[in-house]
Structure 1
Amino acid sequence: IKTKSKAEAALVTRRQREHVLFVEPAEPRAGDTVRVHYNPSNTSLAGATEVYIIGGYNRWTHAESIGPLQMVAGDTASSHVSVEFTIPSDAFKMDFVFSNSADGTGSFDNNNKLDYHVPVTGGVHKVTGEPVVEPPLHVVSICVEMAPIAKVGGLGDVVTSLARAVQDEGHNVEVILPKHDTIDYTQVEGFVETTGFSWGMTYNRVFYGKVEGVDTYFIDPENGMFRVGMIYGTDYLEIPMTDAERFGFFSKAALEWLLQSKRQPDIIHCHDWQTAPCAKSFWQDYQPFGLSNPRVVFTIHNLNYGAELIEEAMSFAQVSTTVSRTYAEEISSHQSIRDNLDKFHGVVNGIDPEIWDPANDDFLPRFYDEADMVEGKAAAREALCNHSNIPNKAGVPMVGVVTRLSSQKGIHLIKRGIMRSLERGCQVVLLGSAPDPVIQQEFDMLFHELKQSYHDFMCFHLYYNEPLSHLIYAGSDMLLVPSMFEPCGLSQLIAMRYGTVPIVRRTGGLNDTVFDYDMDHKKAEWEGMTPNGFSFDGTNDDAIDYALNRGMDLAYNKPAEFRKLQANCMSQDWSWNRPALEYIEVYHAARKPY
Structure 2
Amino acid sequence: MKVLFAAAEGSPFIKTGGLADVIGALPKALLKNGIDARVVLPKYKSIPEEYTASMRYIQHIEVPVGWRQSYCGIFELVFDGVTFYFLDNEYYFGARDGVYGHYDDAERFAFFNRAVLQVLPHIEFQPDIIHSHDWHTGMISPLLDKHYRHDSFYQNIRTIYTIHNLQYQGVFPYEVLGELLGMEHQYFSPDKLEYKGGVSFMKGGIVYSDRVTTVSRTYADEIQTPHFGEGLDGALRWLGDRMTGIVNGIDDKSYNPATDPHLFQRYRSSVTKKQANKAELQRVLGMEENKNTPMIGMVTRLTAQKGLDLLSHVLHELMDDELQLVILGSGDPHYEGFFLDMALRHPDKLSVQIRFDERLARQIYASSDLFLMPSQFEPCGLGQLIAMRYGSIPIVRETGGLNDTVQAYEELTGEGNGFSFTNYNAHDMLYTIRRALSVYHQPEHWKRIVKNAMAGDYSWNESARQYKQLYEEVLSPVYS
Partner AA of 1:572 in structure 2 = G
| Aligned: 1:590 with 2:454 | no
Partner AA of 2:79 in structure 1 = V
- Structure 2 regions of 5+ residues with no counterpart? 171-199, 226-232
Q: How does 1:73-88 map to 2 (within 5 A)?
A: none
| Aligned: 1:328 with 2:192 | no
**In the aligned structure 1, how far is the partner of 2:50 from the partner of 2:234?**
43
| Aligned: 1:401 with 2:286 | no
Shift of 1:518: 2.8
Mean CA deviation greater in 493-502 or 204-213: 204-213
**In the aligned structure 2, how far is the partner of 1:191 from the partner of 1:421?**
51
Partner AA of 1:586 in structure 2 = L
Shift of 1:262: 4.8
Q: How does 1:436-585 map to 2 (within 5 A)?
A: 436-448=332-344, 451=345, 454-518=346-410, 530-556=415-441, 558-585=442-469
TM-score under structure 1 normalisation?
Answer: 0.71
RMSD over equivalenced CA pairs, Å: 1.9
Alignment check: 8 A CA contact 1:384 1:471 kept? yes
1:384 to 253, 269, 281: 281
1:425 to 300, 310, 322: 322
| Aligned: 1:275 with 2:137 | yes
SS in 2 for 1:197: strand
Q: 1:270 to 1:417 in 2, by over 3 A?
A: farther
Q: 1:152 to 1:281 in 2, by over 3 A?
A: same
Alignment check: 8 A CA contact 2:45 2:96 kept? yes
2:109 to 243, 247, 268: 247
Give CA deviations for 1:166-193 in whole Å, capped at 9, x if unaligned. Answer: 0111211110000010110304684222
Alignment check: 8 A CA contact 2:29 2:464 kept? yes
Larger Rg computed on CA atoms: 1
SS in 2 for 1:360: coil
**In the aligned structure 2, how far is the partner of 1:211 from the partner of 1:506?**
37
Alignment-derived partner of residue 10 in structure 2: 146
**Matched residue pairs, number?**
437
Give CA deviations for 1:502-526 in whole Å, capped at 9, x if unaligned. Answer: 00001000000000013997xxxxx
Alignment check: 8 A CA contact 2:314 2:427 kept? no
**In the aligned structure 2, how far is the partner of 1:398 from the partner of 1:418?**
15
Partner AA of 1:175 in structure 2 = V
SS in 2 for 1:335: helix
**In the aligned structure 1, how far is the partner of 2:373 from the partner of 2:314?**
10
**In the aligned structure 2, how far is the partner of 1:214 from the partner of 1:245?**
29
Alignment-derived partner of residue 180 in structure 1: 44
**In the aligned structure 2, how far is the partner of 1:358 from the partner of 1:188?**
30
Partner AA of 1:536 in structure 2 = F
Alignment check: 8 A CA contact 1:403 1:432 kept? yes
Mean CA deviation greater in 271-280 or 304-313: 304-313
**In the aligned structure 1, how far is the partner of 2:359 from the partner of 2:285?**
13
Shift of 1:445: 2.5
Alignment-derived partner of residue 166 in structure 1: 30
Q: Which has the higher contact order (CA 8 A, sep 6+)?
A: 2
**In the aligned structure 1, how far is the partner of 2:92 from the partner of 2:306?**
35
Shift of 1:206: 1.2
Partner AA of 1:210 in structure 2 = V
1:209 to 77, 86, 103: 77
Identity of aligned residues (%): 36
Q: How does 1:52-451 map to 2 (within 5 A)?
A: 137-187=1-51, 190-200=54-64, 201-235=69-103, 242-289=104-151, 290-306=153-169, 308-333=200-225, 334-370=233-269, 372=270, 374-416=271-313, 418-434=315-331, 436-448=332-344, 451=345
**In the aligned structure 2, how far is the partner of 1:212 from the partner of 1:151?**
17
Give CA deviations for 1:352-378 in whole Å, capped at 9, x if unaligned. Answer: 1011111110000221112x2x12211
**In the aligned structure 1, how far is the partner of 2:88 from the partner of 2:411?**
52
SS in 2 for 1:464: coil
Alignment check: 8 A CA contact 2:130 2:160 kept? yes
SS in 1 for 2:356: coil
Alignment check: 8 A CA contact 1:258 1:291 kept? no
SS in 1 for 2:73: strand
Shift of 1:211: 3.3
**In the aligned structure 2, how far is the partner of 1:150 from the partner of 1:156?**
7
**In the aligned structure 2, how far is the partner of 1:423 from the partner of 1:212?**
48
**In the aligned structure 1, how far is the partner of 2:116 from the partner of 2:220?**
28
**In the aligned structure 1, how far is the partner of 2:301 from the partner of 2:128?**
36
Mean CA deviation greater in 539-548 or 263-272: 539-548
SS in 1 for 2:168: coil
**In the aligned structure 1, how far is the partner of 2:58 from the partner of 2:468?**
30
**In the aligned structure 2, how far is the partner of 1:243 from the partner of 1:495?**
34
Q: 1:151 to 1:218 in 2, by over 3 A?
A: same
Shift of 1:323: 0.2
Q: 1:420 to 1:582 in 2, by over 3 A?
A: farther
Give CA deviations for 1:29-49 in whole Å, capped at 9, x if unaligned. Answer: xxxxxxxxxxxxxxxxxxxxx
Shift of 1:218: 0.4
**In the aligned structure 2, how far is the partner of 1:430 from the partner of 1:277?**
37
Alignment check: 8 A CA contact 2:62 2:70 kept? yes
Partner AA of 2:342 in structure 1 = L
Give CA deviations for 1:154-175 in whole Å, capped at 9, x if unaligned. Answer: 1111111111110111211110
Q: 1:573 to 1:419 in 2, by over 3 A?
A: farther
**In the aligned structure 2, how far is the partner of 1:502 from the partner of 1:477?**
9
Give CA deviations for 1:388-412 in whole Å, capped at 9, x if unaligned. Answer: 1112211111111111010100111
Alignment check: 8 A CA contact 1:270 1:298 kept? yes
Alignment check: 8 A CA contact 1:421 1:427 kept? no
Alignment check: 8 A CA contact 1:205 1:221 kept? yes
Alignment check: 8 A CA contact 1:205 1:222 kept? no
